[in-house]
Amino acid sequence: MKLQPMPKNRSGNVRNIRKLHTTDRNRPGHFLRNLLVLCGAAILCLLVFVLVRDGGAPVLKLTPQTGAASYSTNFTLNLASARAGLKELVVTATQDGKRVEVLRRTFPDKSLTHTESFRLPRASGFKEGPLELAIIARDNALLSFLGRGKTSLIQNLVLDFSPPRLSVNPGIHNVNQGGGGLVSYTVSKPVERTGVMVSDHFFPAYQQKNGEFLCYFAMPYDMPAALFKPRVMAEDKAGNEASQSINVLAIPKIFKADQLNVPDSFLNDKMGQYSAMYPELKTPIEIYKRVNTELRKQNVAELLKIGLDTSPTPLWTGAFLRLPAAAGRAGFGDQRDYFYNGEKIDHETHLGVDLASVANAPVPAANSGRIVLAQFFGIYGNCIIIDHGLGLQSLYSHLSEINVTKGQQVAKGQIIAKTGATGLAGGDHLHFGIIISGLQVSPVEWWDEHWIKDNITKHMVK
């Protein structure tokens, strides 16, 4: 096939045609288009940069979210700015056209996070009924003029200034130092929290099908009887609180005092269980001191959390079972001074009853309930905790064998384990404990059918 030559211009020069095309690209219209494209790309890059620099709008979280409030309600605002930093916070309340500024805060340091607590001002003169709470947070976004960097939250509330009314069922409660009791009562309105306060310890109450609340409470072993002043309290969703004293007869107790020697044989035999927890410690006595104090306190704190894992209704019936054919060893409340090589190294309180029969004796569940712990548990070694409802729990420790799992329902008398010497145990025995909402109390009361009828079931109004 024969190729055709490229057409020539009048002068016969092909290069002149190419020059003509090149010259056409440099005309003003084409240059302007290129300039606009470059400017658009630059603006887009700048916009992307600003968006990335600013991040998202501020994040707001308001608590509580009960839908009700009063002048005593403590509101908490958590604010967070992704990158630009917080600039301003404004909180206003509006009711029937009346608008009140509750809070205004600026952030010259451009904080990324901030927590603010506030209450509705009493001087505002708001009345019971609906109220609108408006919250606006701004950050230092560069595109704030476009509405970026601003977050608004509207919370509709109902103001309630009337505290709940309590009605505690009559009767005198005989409570031993280190022992427990039960109170029943009614509350006039729905509540956010209710129970019994003993000093700074809170015992939660649980509402039953008949509308009444039941609450186990106790006198701590280390509280003098004269200072035992339990009070039923209730706080509604608006934060209004009411309280009423309980008619009690506080019975003081004298607890046994013991001196215990800690021999090297015990330390060498037992501290291996805990050496991985304290790798920086070199000697068994150093590990023991940490275990008997620090770990013991950790276990006590954990019992408070476990106490909340409970049924809202009673799961038990009748007197609690004692380990069969077992002799009592250490008792509840025993005051123990620990000595090593003639030197006092610690003082602790024994908060259970030690029972010993034969080695690896079968351990029955003291009453029916649900397993809430079945594992190695600090100073208690292999341990089981059974929940019996309303915060009442039983503890079995130093076990050589565990035959149940967490969450399992067990019947009264069912074999759940075998006795042993795990944890801080000097020999094979069962350490048995009773716990009320995380506070350890004397188990002896719960073995007594008459005590249960006089102090527990008679206060459970049907």
Q: What is the predicted pLDDT for the residue at 17?
A: 44
Q: What percent of the chain has pLDDT over 90?
A: 82
- Quick one: DSSP state of residue 455? H
257-443 to CATH, choices 2.70.70.10, 2.40.50.140, 1.10.260.40, 3.40.50.2300: 2.70.70.10
CA 44 to CA 401: how far, in whole Å?
70
Outline which parts of the chain fall under CATH 2.60.40.10: 166-251
pLDDT digit string (tens) for 168-179?
999 999 999 999
Among all chains, which residue has been given the structure tokens 């019992």?
Answer: 303
Asked if pLDDT for residue 52 goes beyond 50, the answer is no
Q: Specify the pTM.
A: 0.83
Domain with CATH 2.60.40.3880 in the chain: 59-159
The per-residue pLDDT for range 2-42, each reduced to its tens digit, is: 445 555 454 445 444 444 444 555 566 666 776 666 666 65
* pLDDT (0 to 100) of residue 53: 46
- State residue 82's pLDDT score: 78
Tokens describing residue 122: 């009493």
Residue 99 CB-density burial (10 A; 0-12 exposed, 13-18 middle, 19+ buried): exposed
Which option is the CATH number for 166-251: 2.60.40.10, 3.40.50.2000, 3.30.70.1070, 1.10.1740.10? Answer: 2.60.40.10
Question: CA 71: distance to chain centroid?
Answer: 26
How far apart (Å, rounded) are the C-alpha atoms in residues 345 and 327?
Answer: 29
Contact residues for 29 (Cβ-Cβ < 8 A; gap 6+)? none
pLDDT of residue 83: 74
Ranges in the chain annotated CATH 2.70.70.10:
257-443
The CATH code of domain 59-159 reads 2.60.40.3880
Q: Give me the pLDDT at residue 140, please.
A: 87
